[in-house]
Chains A and B, each alone.
Chain A
Amino acid sequence: MTDSVPPARATGPDQFTGATPDNAIRDADRAKAGRVLAADGTPLKRSLNRALRAQKLRALMLIAPLLIFILITFIAPIADMLFRSVENDIVSQTLPRTVVELDRWDGEGTPDEETYRALAADLMVATELKNHTRLGSRLNYETTGISSLFRKTGRDIDEAGEIYMDQFVALDAAWEEPATWVSLMADPDWIAAQADWSARAKEAEAAQDAAATAEEARALEFTEPEPRFRLSGTARDALPRTSRIYQQFASVIRSEDGDSPTQEQPWAIVYQALYEDLSGGFTGESYDGAQARLLSRAADAVAAFDTLPVKEFFIENVDEDWGDPEVWGTIKAFSSPYTAGYFLSAIDYQLTPQGIEPQPDDQKIYALLFKRTMFMSLTIMFSCVLLGYPIAFLLSNLPLRTSNLLLILVLLPFWTSLLVRTSAWKVLLQQEGVINAILVWAGAISDVGRLQLINNQTGTIIAMTHILLPFMILPLYSVMKTIPPQYVRAAKSLGATNWTAFWRVYFPQSVPGIGAGCILVFILSIGYYITPEIVGGTTGTFISNRIAYHISQSLNWGLAAALGTILLALVLVLYYLYDRIVGIDNVSLG
């Protein structure tokens, strides 16, 4: 603020020109506008607002980098998890036609022939794209056996429509030729473009062969992709089913194998579609393209073809499970892009075609697991209060120097690596471990009667009480430090016994500390993973171990996400309580 200091002259009204506070006030007086003005003449309110806005902006600019960082590295993953717990587009993406057809099915018996045709087409494409096993494993979470059904179907699906292929080829060998199909289905412009492309590819290849060195040859390599296949309008109108599946055939072999429809015979299922088109409503007049004569001869012959309904093909030739309403029910139930199915599984219910039903009793594990997590967290919480309260009481009543020294005994475990503490307990609690050895040595137990302290709930509770105890002691201590000793003294001088003075005067004042410590310990313990995994065995594990299992072993990510979402909701509710009782800002770190 060094600029524009006017030369000092005699003071007095309006001696200084420009924006000085005095002048501003005088201006305001003169104007008699009743508004307070800032030094530069703008209304004070606006000027202040501007200053405030600048300040807010500066603060936000300082916070912004971190906020963006956390939003990307942390909040987005959490949001992704929440989304995954309801996301279910795999069925509708892998089986798009089937899902549409299934809409008409009422859940009784098997779906109609049209649905099976759609299924054959969808599965043919899915098998070529190698998506069918993924879908199979997804649906297997809901109904066991679907995974193997889909794998089996994937192996047999290229036989769907073979019976028609053979008959078309027997009718005229030209049906076997890729070129016949291209001239039948493709847009003339595409045929020209494709011919041009393959000529250039040949040229490039020839040039490559002529190249002197390997590098030169590599530089000449022809990398341009084949033009994308386009259907001709006539084929689309005259042969709707055939053209749809042929188009897909062309695009799948192009993207998956780098092949061209000019080189490959279509899938058998394309012949099936052709049969359907020709036998239903096709007349010679509707197609006037290149292969009109071949097509009309075929159209005349199809009436005499041997037939095999697709439904029969699936049930008789592939697997009888395709006639099972339960399989279809599962596909229909999970055909919408979002599902509550994972959440229902997470609370031991299932989504069936008939609606929401409880899981069979032998598959109910999550309610038990949630109850166990709750029960063990509560036990750990209570043992922490039991052990933490005397320590905090002692620390807050000792002289500062001594209590600081003893506090180190609390802080050392707090600072020690979690893995170190867990391994210590693993070593101590083993059947051949230190605790059992001492007990045997002391004669408390016999050598054969060593206690089973690990790989069960006892192990988890002991180890986690030890690990979480500092989180109870520290908040308790910080509350107890602020309780004035005069109150207890006053109570005693009024005739209270030690116990009454403690219970009626001291204890109520320490309750906020107990509340804070309990919620903290409880929140931390219901989300624990490492310690239960190592010392918990099978009976001492928590819900988080199940989440980890679903992520890395069963690969049922949706269910893991749903379980995680429930756990997260629980923790957030508890944290809200913690915030109301203690305030997040008051979290102290030792």
Chain B
Amino acid sequence: MELPPYATLGQKIWHYTFLTICGLIFFFLIAPILTIIPLSFNAENFFTFTPGMLAFDPEAYSLKHYRDFFTNSGWQQAMWNSIKIAPVATLLSVSLGTLAAVGLSQSHVPFRRLIMAILISPMIVPLIISAAGMYFFYSRIGLQGTYLGVVLAHAALGIPFVIITVTATLVGFDRSLTRASANLGAGPVRTFFRVQMPLILPGVISGGLFAFITSFDEVVVVLFVGSAGQKTLPWQMFIGLREQISPTILAVATILVVISIGLLTTVELLRRRSERLRGMSPG
């Protein structure tokens, strides 16, 4: 995007207009998320900047919404529910998903396309339809409104992400390594854990992070499959947004933004490490 020294005035104007437009779009992308961070420190129960905040008056800022989040029993219960559901669902989808991805990456898999389509389907089907179907079916078999039901549903939703990231990592996997390991006398299980697993681990972890964030952020399915006892953080936020919007939501949102920044950094680092391990160009 370097502007050549011989650019005409028109080209220069266009170039800077273009950059301005891009800047505005980036602003559109990022500003809403950044706006809520200062607003969450508002000392008043308002959703806009008070004159005091604009004047950077320390009095106008407070941590009271955070205090509310950490003391309010509704929010706390929701947080613990999220913490109880997401890791179990992630573990389930990562273990089953990795196993299946290894199976799928072998050279002769019958009905590969069909199997792949079935395994990816939870990502394709709109959430409201998955939620409706699960609600109907889980109430038939007595899973509706139970912890197990929510965990199973979330694990199913996370699986496509694990399958996609792990199979992508396995594409660059050198098969001669497993053959060498077998040649040296290691059984298939040992080969998997000692040779294959360390190499595909970055893919597995980032798949797991995707699965985790899917479950942690998920609200539609838990709204239908869960009952009041499984109220998660997003569910509580959803209720708060639909009924009475309290500024505590902004404090929760800020905490979640911080968590997602952490996750994003982790995934990015893992991706680079994985590409380095597989000898690809550093991204």
Taking Cβ atoms with an 8 Å cutoff, the residues of A that contact B are 2, 52, 55-56, 58-63, 65-67, 69-71, 73-81, 84, 387, 390-391, 394, 397-398, 400, 404, 406, 408-413, 415-428, 430, 432-434, 437, 466, 469-470, 498, 523-524, 526-530, 533-534, 544, 547-548, 551-552, 557, 560-561, 564, 567-568, 571-572, 575, 584-585, 587-590
* Sample of 14 A–B contacts (CB below 8 Å): A62-B102, A63-B104, A65-B96, A67-B118, A70-B159, A73-B134, A420-B36, A420-B237, A427-B250, A430-B48, A437-B49, A498-B11, A564-B128, A567-B126
Say whether B224 faces chain A, with CB atoms less than 8 Å apart.
Answer: yes
Say whether B91 faces chain A, with CB atoms less than 8 Å apart.
Answer: no
Taking Cβ atoms with an 8 Å cutoff, the residues of B that contact A are 1, 11, 14, 18-19, 21-22, 25-26, 28-30, 32-33, 35-36, 39, 46-49, 96-97, 99-100, 102-104, 106-110, 115-122, 124-138, 140, 152-153, 155-156, 159, 161, 164-165, 167-168, 185, 210, 213, 216-217, 219-220, 224, 234, 237-238, 241-242, 245, 249-250, 253, 256-257, 260-261, 263-264, 267-268, 283
Complex interface: chain B residues within 8 A of A427 (CB): 35-36, 39, 47-48, 245, 250
C-alpha spacing A425/B35, complex, angstroms: 10
Complex interface: chain B residues within 8 A of A575 (CB): 124
The 6 A-B residue pairs with the shortest CB-CB distance, nearest first, are A527-B126, A62-B103, A77-B133, A77-B137, A66-B100, A544-B128
Is B32 a contact of A551 with CB atoms below 8 Å?
no
Complex interface: chain A residues within 8 A of B131 (CB): 548
C-alpha spacing A551/B134, complex, angstroms: 12
Distance in Å from the Cβ of A573 to the closest Cβ of chain B?
12
What is the chain A residue whose CB lies nearest that of B34?
A: A424
The verdict on A551 contacting B253 (CB below 8 Å), with A62-B99, A589-B165 known, is no
Is A415 a contact of B260 with CB atoms below 8 Å?
yes
Main DSSP-derived SS at the B contact region: helix
Q: Which of A78, A408, A416, A564 contacts B33 (CB 8 A)?
A: A416
Is B115 a contact of A55 with CB atoms below 8 Å?
no
C-alpha spacing A527/B131, complex, angstroms: 11
Distance in Å from the Cβ of B98 to the closest Cβ of chain A?
9
Distance in Å from the Cβ of A155 to the closest Cβ of chain B?
29
C-alpha spacing A35/B163, complex, angstroms: 42
- Counted as pairs of residues, one from A and one from B, with CB atoms less than 8 Å apart, the total is 276
Is B108 a contact of A424 with CB atoms below 8 Å?
no
C-alpha spacing A501/B245, complex, angstroms: 51
Is B127 a contact of A529 with CB atoms below 8 Å?
yes
Is A561 a contact of B132 with CB atoms below 8 Å?
yes
Complex interface: chain A residues within 8 A of B264 (CB): 408, 411-412, 415
C-alpha spacing A81/B140, complex, angstroms: 12
C-alpha spacing A12/B22, complex, angstroms: 77
Distance in Å from the Cβ of B116 to the closest Cβ of chain A?
7
Is B33 a contact of A59 with CB atoms below 8 Å?
no
Is B253 a contact of A420 with CB atoms below 8 Å?
yes
C-alpha spacing A467/B104, complex, angstroms: 32
Distance in Å from the Cβ of B160 to the closest Cβ of chain A?
9
Distance in Å from the Cβ of A297 to the closest Cβ of chain B?
53
Distance in Å from the Cβ of B192 to the closest Cβ of chain A?
10
The verdict on A433 contacting B132 (CB below 8 Å), with A71-B118, A394-B1 known, is no
Distance in Å from the Cβ of A561 to the closest Cβ of chain B?
7
C-alpha spacing A590/B165, complex, angstroms: 10
Complex interface: chain A residues within 8 A of B108 (CB): 52, 55-56, 59
Is B18 a contact of A390 with CB atoms below 8 Å?
yes
Q: Which of B46, B100, B249, B268 contacts A63 (CB 8 A)?
A: B100
Is B36 a contact of A77 with CB atoms below 8 Å?
no
Distance in Å from the Cβ of A80 to the closest Cβ of chain B?
4
What is the chain B residue whose CB lies nearest that of A62?
A: B103
Complex interface: chain A residues within 8 A of B136 (CB): 77, 80-81, 84, 557, 561
Is A432 a contact of B47 with CB atoms below 8 Å?
yes
Q: Which of B35, B153, B217 contacts A418 (CB 8 A)?
A: B217
The verdict on A60 contacting B110 (CB below 8 Å), with A412-B261, A419-B238, A589-B164 known, is yes
C-alpha spacing A416/B167, complex, angstroms: 25
C-alpha spacing A420/B167, complex, angstroms: 31
C-alpha spacing A46/B139, complex, angstroms: 50
C-alpha spacing A2/B263, complex, angstroms: 48
Distance in Å from the Cβ of B223 to the closest Cβ of chain A?
8
The verdict on A75 contacting B22 (CB below 8 Å), with A80-B137, A423-B241, A466-B29 known, is no
Complex interface: chain A residues within 8 A of B268 (CB): 408, 411
C-alpha spacing A126/B132, complex, angstroms: 29
Distance in Å from the Cβ of A7 to the closest Cβ of chain B?
22
Is B109 a contact of A529 with CB atoms below 8 Å?
no
Complex interface: chain A residues within 8 A of B220 (CB): 529-530
Q: Which of A71, A390, A423, A567 contacts B249 (CB 8 A)?
A: A423
Q: Which of A65, A400, A409, A561 contacts B29 (CB 8 A)?
A: A409
Is B11 a contact of A564 with CB atoms below 8 Å?
no
Distance in Å from the Cβ of B126 to the closest Cβ of chain A?
2
Complex interface: chain A residues within 8 A of B11 (CB): 498
Known: A81-B133, A404-B283. 19 other contacts (CB 8 A): A56-B108, A56-B109, A62-B102, A70-B118, A387-B28, A391-B22, A408-B268, A409-B29, A409-B30, A413-B30, A413-B33, A424-B32, A427-B47, A434-B39, A524-B126, A527-B125, A529-B220, A561-B136, A571-B126
